[in-house]
Amino acid sequence: MCGGDKTELMVERAFSSDLMSDVLTLDTEGLLLITGLANIQTIRTAEMADIHYILFVRNKKVTPEMAELAGENHMVLLATPFSLFKTSGILYKHGLKPVY
């Protein structure tokens, strides 16, 4: 949805949460955020926490304002119709590590 030119980048760890307060407590680098919370503060939180990859679950839509802010911060935005649980399970099974 955004950052299609950065498909070669790799992430090692992921964190699944709809609570941005929890995301702001992490100090892991190079993280994928998996979330069902799609609003401008999701992007702002990622900006502050130096998170460059966000995967939106449950078919959540990215607004033009969100895409613009994500673009300014060189983020990659991905989307899936799957639930947070299913998405996390698939990625975990394929080797993506948890933060804790």
Q: Which residues bind other proteins (CB under 8 A)?
A: 18-25, 27, 37, 39-42, 44-45, 47-50, 65
User: Residue 39, Cα to own-chain centre: how many angstroms?
Assistant: 12
Radius of gyration of the chain (CA): 12
* Cβ distance to other proteins smaller for residue 48 or 90: 48
State the nearest-atom distance from the C-beta of 4 to other proteins, in Å: 23
State the nearest-atom distance from the C-beta of 17 to other proteins, in Å: 8
CB 13 within 8 A of CB 30: yes
State the nearest-atom distance from the C-beta of 64 to other proteins, in Å: 13
- How far apart, in whole angstroms, are the C-alpha atoms of residue 58 and residue 80? 6
* Cβ distance to other proteins smaller for residue 11 or 18: 18
Residue carrying the six token digits 């099974």: 93
